[in-house]
């Protein structure tokens, strides 16, 4: 229960500091779905380049993906990396949609959450994070998206163990955000837009909020909006403060919740990373069951 209370307070604190994040930056449900697939194992800036190519070619639509030859689609999305696998997955998704829902995204997205999630997870290359991104951001379903940023922050705050399962984290957050918050720990975040970082000649930019888009302004339940905002807020924390190699805890809005600051462990190259955070477990850079060069559908990167 303590972890759930703290998670709720995380949300309240970050919301008070940064406000609405206007997530996901897209103009249609299909653009969200394409982005959710393209962002697997790559930075969002690369996805934006691929999406721009699709827009210029006027194929960022169901019909566009359906009629575009596979080789042409691969060229258009090349900036997103793993372009052969991702182009095949886009084609596969459209074929599945045509077969299962007569090509209607409205029908698909109006399917009950549990059933649609099971169907999406059965598709090639769609893992839990991608499926939940489609559900929450394209369909406004009440489901929380867990990503690597969420794991990093929660591990450093001792809210989860390194081997915590995806769905156990998701269910913990969903339970927490349906409960009243405890008194918020004030972080007293400095007000300047640019703040000095812990390293020499280094600056930390406070998060920049996306401009509103058709999808960010889509009608959704209060709970779906809460899940939407919290995921976006955690992404901002991880990007700007709780980075993998540098933890800028002294500037982070969540610093008031950190009980045991210690140095982040150095890598095998003995590099010294700056900043403080709760103990960060060492992990192999490659999972035992992974194959070098193979796309991991369970590790998408969301718009950052």
pLDDT category of residue 280 using cuts at 50, 70 and 90? very low
Which percentage of the chain shows pLDDT scores above 90?
A: 66
Alpha-carbon gap, residue 296 to 94, rounded angstroms: 20
Beta-bridge mates of residue 248: 276
pLDDT number for residue 1: 58
Least confident of 109-113, 176-180, 245-249, 275-279: 275-279
pLDDT number for residue 163: 95
pLDDT number for residue 51: 98
Structure tokens at 126: 């769609």
Tally: H helices and E strands in the chain? 12, 5
Beta-bridge mates of residue 242: 247
Q: What is the pLDDT of residues 16-63, one digit of tens each?
A: 999 999 999 999 999 999 999 999 999 889 999 999 999 999 999 999
pLDDT category of residue 281 using cuts at 50, 70 and 90? very low
On the question of pLDDT at 70 being above 50, the answer is yes
Mean pLDDT across 220-239: 95
Q: What is the pLDDT of residues 182-227, one digit of tens each?
A: 544 444 444 333 344 444 323 445 678 888 999 999 999 999 999 9
DSSP state of 135: I
Q: Rounded to 10 degrees, what is the CA torsion of 192, 197, 201, 206?
A: -40
Alpha-carbon gap, residue 261 to 41, rounded angstroms: 30
pTM attached to this predicted model: 0.81
Contact 32, 61 (CB under 8 A): no
pLDDT number for residue 259: 74
pLDDT number for residue 275: 47
- Tell me the domains of the chain and their CATH numbers: 1-182+216-245 (1.10.340.30)
Beta-bridge mates of residue 262: 277
Alpha-carbon gap, residue 110 to 100, rounded angstroms: 13
On the question of pLDDT at 274 being above 70, the answer is no
Cβ-in-10-Å burial (0-12, 13-18, 19+) of 181 comes to: middle
Alpha-carbon gap, residue 232 to 225, rounded angstroms: 11
pLDDT category of residue 4 using cuts at 50, 70 and 90? confident
DSSP state of 78: G
Q: What is the pLDDT of residues 131-175, one digit of tens each?
A: 999 999 999 999 999 999 999 999 999 999 999 999 999 999 999
Q: What is the pLDDT of residues 92-130, one digit of tens each?
A: 999 999 999 999 999 999 999 999 999 999 999 999 999
On the question of pLDDT at 252 being above 50, the answer is yes
For residue 89, how many C-alpha atoms fall within 13 Å in the half-sphere facing its CB? 27
Find all residues with CB under 8 Å of 230, minimum gap 6, and list them: 10, 11, 14, 144, 173, 177
**What does the mean pLDDT of the chain come to?**
83
pLDDT category of residue 278 using cuts at 50, 70 and 90? very low
pLDDT category of residue 254 using cuts at 50, 70 and 90? very high
Which percentage of the chain shows pLDDT scores above 70?
A: 75
On the question of pLDDT at 295 being above 80, the answer is no
User: Is 301 in a helix, a strand, or coil?
Assistant: coil
More confident residue, 76 or 301: 76
Find all residues with CB under 8 Å of 104, minimum gap 6, and list them: 97
């Amino acid at each position: 229960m303590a972890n759930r209370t703290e998670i709720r307070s995380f949300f309240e604190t970050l919301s008070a500091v940064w406000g609405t994040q206007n997530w996901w930056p897209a103009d249609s449900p299909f653009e969200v779905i394409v982005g959710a697939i393209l962002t697997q194992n790559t930075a969002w800036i690369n996805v934006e380049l691929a999406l721009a190519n699709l827009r210029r070619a006027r194929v960022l639509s169901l019909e566009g993906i359906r009629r575009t030859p596979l080789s042409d689609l691969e060229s258009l999305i090349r900036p997103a990396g793993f372009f052969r696998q991702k182009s095949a997955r886009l084609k596969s998704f459209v074929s599945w949609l045509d077969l299962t829902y007569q090509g209607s995204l409205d029908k698909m997205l109006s399917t009950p959450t549990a059933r649609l999630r099971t169907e999406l997870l059965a598709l090639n290359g769609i893992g839990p994070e991608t499926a939940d991104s489609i559900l929450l951001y394209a369909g406004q379903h009440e489901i929380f998206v867990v990503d690597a940023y969420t794991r990093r922050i929660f591990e450093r705050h001792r809210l989860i163990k390194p081997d915590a399962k995806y769905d156990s984290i998701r269910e913990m957050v969903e339970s927490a955000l349906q409960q009243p918050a405890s008194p918020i720990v004030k972080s007293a975040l400095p007000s300047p837009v640019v703040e000095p970082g812990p390293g020499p000649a280094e600056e930390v930019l406070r998060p920049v909020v996306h401009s509103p888009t058709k999808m960010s302004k889509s009608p959704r339940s209060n709970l779906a909006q809460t899940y939407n905002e919290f995921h976006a807020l955690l992404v901002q924390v991880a990007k700007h403060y709780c980075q993998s190699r540098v933890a800028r805890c002294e500037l982070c809005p969540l610093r008031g919740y950190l009980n045991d600051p210690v140095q982040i462990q150095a890598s095998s190259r003995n590099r010294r990373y700056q900043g403080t955070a709760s103990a960060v477990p060492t992990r192999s850079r490659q999972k035992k069951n992974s194959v070098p060069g193979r796309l991991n559908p369970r590790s998408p990167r969301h718009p950052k």
